[in-house]
Structure 1
Amino acid sequence: MPAPPEASAADPRIEYDALRERCPVAWSEARQGSVLRHAEVLRVLHEHETFGNAVSAHPAVPNGYDPPQHTAYRRALDPFFAPPRMQRFEPVCRDIVGAMLQQALQLRELDVVREFALPFAVRVQSAFLGWPPLIQDELLDWLRRSREATRSGDRASTAAVAQEFERLVDRMRAARRESAPDQDISAELMHLQVDGRALDLRELASVLRNWTVGEVGTIAASIGILVHWLATSPDWQQRLRAQPALLPPAIDEVLRIDGPLAANRRIVRRAVALGGRQFEPGDRLTIHWIAANRDPRAFDEPDSFRIDRDPSPNLLYGAGIHVCPGAPLARLELRVLMEELLARTSAITLAESRPPVRAVHPDAGYAALLVRLV
C-alpha cells in the first residue's frame, strides 16, 4: 500500500483525497497506519480506550494523556476557556486586530502569512496569557527555530529548542512567583493545582507550548486560508460584510474544506481491526484531519462551500474527550479578525505580482499569500 503523501507542489489536498479513496487506512513501515476516512477517524477519536493519546515520552498536557490523568488536567484547565473569560478577552483581541489592520491597510499589498498572520497569532496569544510585548519577538523567533528543528528531524536540535522554551517559562514563573493568582492567566496557571499539587516546570512548559506554539501555527494557517477564500470569493466577501452574523458558520465551513492542521498521532492500546487492517498494541496511527474533513461519505460535495451544512460532522477541532480545549479562543480570534477585516475594507483581492504558495507538509494552508486590501 502506498505511503501517505508528504505534500504536493500545488495543493496537498489533492493527494490526500486520492489516497483516501484508494484505502481508508494506508500503511507504511516508517509511519505505520494513516487514517484518512471520516468514519475510521471518528472511531479512533471516540474509542479512546483502544486508541490512546500518550504517544510521546515527554509531557503533553492535557491532550497527550489518557484518562485518568487526562481527565484531571482537563478539569483544571478547561475553565481557562470558559465563556466569561472569552467575553472579557474579546475587547483586548479586537484592539490588537484593529491596530494591526491599521498598519496593514497602509501597506495596501502585503504577504498575509509572513507580515500579518504569524505576528498577529503571537501577539494575541501573548495578550491572552498576559505576557509582556518584549516576549513576543522572542517567542516568534523561537517558533521559527522550533519549526526548523522539527523539519530537520534532528532530535538533539529539537530537544535543545524545547529546553529553551522551558527556560522562558521558568523566567515567567519566577516573575510571577510572588504575584496574586488573579494578576493574569499566566499567574493563575502558576498557582494552579491538579490533584492537590502545583504543576511542575515541564508540565507548565507543556501547557504553555500548546497555548502558544500550537495555537500560533494553526491560527496563522487559518488566517491565510480564510483570507485566500475571501479574495477568491467576492460574492461571499460582500455578503459577509452585509451579514457578519454569518461569519461563525462560514469560518468553520471554509476551514473544513481547507484545514489548518494536517495530522495528529495516536497509539494502539489493544488489538483491533480498523479499515480492514489488524493493529496490535504499540502500533502507531496518524489521523489525517484534512482528508477526513473532505470525505464525500460524510460531506455531500465536500469541495463546495455550504453555509447551511450540518456542522456536527466537522472535525476542525476534533471530537470525543480530546476535542481541542482552546477551540473557544480560536473561534473568538478568527471571528473578531474577520469582522474587523471586512468592516475596514471594501475589497480584498489576490495581488497579481505573485501567486499564492501552498505550505509544505507538515504545515497546512499557505506559505506565502500576497493580497491587496482596499
Structure 2
Amino acid sequence: MDKKPNPNPDWDPRSEAVLKDQIAAYDDMRHRCPVAHSEYLNWSLFRHEDVMRALLDHQTFSSAVSSHPSVPNGMDPPQHTLYRRIIEPYFNAERMREFEPACRAIAAQLVDGLPESGETELMSALAEDYALQVQSAYLGWPSDLHEPLRRWTRKNHEATLARDREAMEEVAFEFDGYIRELLAVRCTAGASAPADLTTSLLRERVGERLLNDEEIVSILRNWTVGELSTISASVGILAHYLASHPALQQQLREDTSLLPAAIDEILRLHAPLISNRRITTQPVDIGGRKLDAGERITLLWASANRDESVFGDPDAFRLDRDPSKNLLYGAGIHVCPGAPLARLELRVLVEEFLCRVRRITTVPGKEPVNAVYPAGGFASLPLWIDRAGVECNAAASGG
C-alpha cells in the first residue's frame, strides 16, 4: 500500500526568523501548532506531554532511526537493554569521584588562562577547549586529537544543518577512522595498553562474545558527539546567564551547594541540546494529528522544557523545580547514561569559574550570536571577565 503524501508544511525550521532565535520560535510553535510538519524535521513535537509520551512508549515511537548502527541510542528493547547494561557502569559514582580531580585541574587551568581583565570571546577561549579536554581526559585520548576533533565537530554540525547526506557520511567515516586508530594501538599494545575507558571497552562482552569494533566505534561516537557539542554549549549558556544576572552570580559564588539545581534550571531555560529523533512503528494519533507508521519524529527538548502547563512562566528561574519534570537529560529507558559525567563537568567548571573570576558581565553594545540547529547555545559570546587579584585554592574551589 502506498504511503500517504506528507501534509503541507506547518513551518520552516531553517527560516531566518526561526534561526534568529530558536527558543522564541519553538515557544511560538508550542502554542500555535504543537504537533507540526516540516520538510526538514518531518513531524515535530513541542509540548512536554507529547514528548513524554514518545519517550515512554518505545513500542510505538522507536529509536531505530539511523541507517548506521547507533549503540545503544538507536536501539529498542530487548537489544537496547543488553548494551545499556554495559554502558551504565562507565558513569557510576565511583568513576565520577575518580575523575573529579583531573576534571578540576583542566577547569582551573583554562579559567586561569582567561584575561586578567577585559573582553573575551568565551566560546573559543573556554567552552570549546573545556569540552575537548575533559572528553579526551575521560576517555584516555591523546591531546593531539583535540584539534582534529574540534574541526570534526564543526564539519558535523554544518553537514547536519544542511542535511547533506554525502557530507554526513564523510564526516562519520572520518570520525570512525580516529577511533579505529585508537583501538588498533590498544590491540597492538596488548597487556601494556593504557588502562583507560577506551581500552576497557575492548574487553566488554554482549552475551557470549566481545563487542566488535563497529559497536565500540558507535558507542564512542555517541559519547563524543553528545559531549563535545552539549558541554561547550552548556558552558556558554551558563556563563551568559550568570553574566546577565549578577545577583544570582554572587549568590552561587557564596553558596556553591546551590549549583547542581541552578545549572539544571538554567539549562532548562535555554537548551544546549535542541532535539532528538524517533520513528513511528504503527499509526498513532498525537496532539490531534494522525501519523502513519514509518513517520519520522523530532522531539523538541528546547520547547518541551519550557512548557507553561508544566513549568508556569518558562523564563522564571526557580531552584525548587521538580527534577523529574526537567528533560535536560531525557527520560524513560533512554535517559542519558552520561548525565552524571555532564553534571560533574559543569559543576566543577562553574565552581572554578566563580572562585577564580571576580566578576563576569555582558559587553554593552555587543550581543552574542545564537547557534543554529542542530546546535544550541551561542556561536559567539563576548563577555567581560575580571580576574584581577583573585586568589583561589583547592579548598575554596571544592577540591
**Shorter-chain TM-score above 0.5:** yes
Choose the corresponding residue for 1:127, options 137, 146, 167. Answer: 137
Distance 1:86 1:344 in 2: 23
Give the stretch that moved more between structures: 186-195 or 151-160.
Answer: 151-160
Distance 1:20 1:179 in 2: 55
Choose the corresponding residue for 1:2, options 5, 10, 34. Answer: 10
Distance 1:315 1:9 in 2: 22
Give the stretch that moved more between structures: 270-279 or 231-240.
Answer: 270-279
Give the stretch that moved more between structures: 339-348 or 353-362.
Answer: 353-362
Q: Which residue of 1 aligns with 2:394?
A: none
Q: Which secondary structure state, in structure 1, belongs to the residue aligned with residue 324 of structure 2?
A: coil
Tell me: CA distance 1:5–1:166, structure 2 relative to 1, closer, same or farther (3 Å).
closer
Choose the corresponding residue for 2:256, options 224, 236, 244. Answer: 244
Q: Which residue of 2 aligns with 1:61?
A: 71
Distance 1:29 1:165 in 2: 28
1:216 is displaced (CA, Å) by 0.6
Q: Is the 8 A contact 1:93 1:333 kept in 2?
A: yes
1:171 aligned onto 2:171? no
1:241 is displaced (CA, Å) by 0.5
1:25 aligned onto 2:35? yes
Q: Which residue of 1 aligns with 2:88?
A: 78
Distance 1:24 1:11 in 2: 18
Matches for 1:181-220 after TM superposition, within 5 Å: 183-220=195-232
The one-letter code of the counterpart of 1:343 is C
1:102 aligned onto 2:123? no
1:322 aligned onto 2:334? yes
Distance 1:30 1:88 in 2: 43
Q: Which residue of 2 aligns with 1:336?
A: 348
Tell me: CA distance 1:127–1:30, structure 2 relative to 1, closer, same or farther (3 Å).
closer
> Over residues 30-86 of structure 1, what are the superposed CA-to-partner deviations in whole Å (9 max), with x where a residue is unaligned?
533110000111111001111000001101111111111110110011100000000
1:9 is displaced (CA, Å) by 5.3
Distance 1:9 1:274 in 2: 26
Q: Which secondary structure state, in structure 1, belongs to the residue aligned with residue 114 of structure 2?
A: helix
1:182 is displaced (CA, Å) by 7.3
1:373 aligned onto 2:385? yes
1:300 aligned onto 2:312? yes
For structure 1, the residue ranges without an aligned partner over 5 or more in a row are none
Choose the corresponding residue for 2:237, options 211, 225, 242. Answer: 225
Tell me: CA distance 1:373–1:140, structure 2 relative to 1, closer, same or farther (3 Å).
same
Q: Which secondary structure state, in structure 1, belongs to the residue aligned with residue 310 of structure 2?
A: coil
Q: Which residue of 1 aligns with 2:47?
A: 37
1:271 is displaced (CA, Å) by 1.9
Give the stretch that moved more between structures: 314-323 or 105-114.
Answer: 105-114
1:235 aligned onto 2:241? no
1:257 aligned onto 2:269? yes
Q: Which residue of 1 aligns with 2:297?
A: 285
Q: Which secondary structure state, in structure 1, belongs to the residue aligned with residue 67 of structure 2?
A: coil
Q: Which residue of 2 aligns with 1:93?
A: 103
The one-letter code of the counterpart of 2:86 is A
Give the stretch that moved more between structures: 132-141 or 52-61.
Answer: 132-141
Q: Which secondary structure state, in structure 1, belongs to the residue aligned with residue 113 of structure 2?
A: helix
Give the stretch that moved more between structures: 347-356 or 320-329.
Answer: 347-356
Q: Which secondary structure state, in structure 1, belongs to the residue aligned with residue 319 of structure 2?
A: coil
Q: Which secondary structure state, in structure 1, belongs to the residue aligned with residue 367 of structure 2?
A: coil
Distance 1:16 1:346 in 2: 35
Tell me: CA distance 1:273–1:93, structure 2 relative to 1, closer, same or farther (3 Å).
same
1:29 is displaced (CA, Å) by 4.9
Give the stretch that moved more between structures: 27-36 or 96-105.
Answer: 27-36
1:161 is displaced (CA, Å) by 1.8
1:200 is displaced (CA, Å) by 2.2
Distance 2:19 2:167 in 1: 27
1:359 aligned onto 2:371? yes
1:180 is displaced (CA, Å) by 5.6
1:353 is displaced (CA, Å) by 5.7
Give the stretch that moved more between structures: 2-11 or 94-103.
Answer: 2-11
Choose the corresponding residue for 1:272, options 284, 306, 309. Answer: 284
The one-letter code of the counterpart of 1:175 is V
Q: Which secondary structure state, in structure 1, belongs to the residue aligned with residue 352 of structure 2?
A: helix
Q: Which secondary structure state, in structure 2, belongs to the residue aligned with residue 372 of structure 1?
A: strand
Q: Percent identity?
A: 48
4+ residue segments displaced more than 6 Å: none
For structure 2, the residue ranges without an aligned partner over 5 or more in a row are 1-8, 387-399
Q: Is the 8 A contact 1:11 1:358 kept in 2?
A: yes
Structure 1 vs Structure 2 CA RMSD: 1.6
Q: Which residue of 1 aligns with 2:321?
A: 309
Q: TM-score, normalised by structure 2?
A: 0.90
Q: Is the 8 A contact 2:161 2:373 kept in 1?
A: no
Distance 2:22 2:245 in 1: 21
Choose the corresponding residue for 2:357, options 334, 345, 350. Answer: 345
1:16 is displaced (CA, Å) by 0.6
Distance 1:78 1:281 in 2: 31
1:146 is displaced (CA, Å) by 2.2
Q: TM-score, normalised by structure 1?
A: 0.96
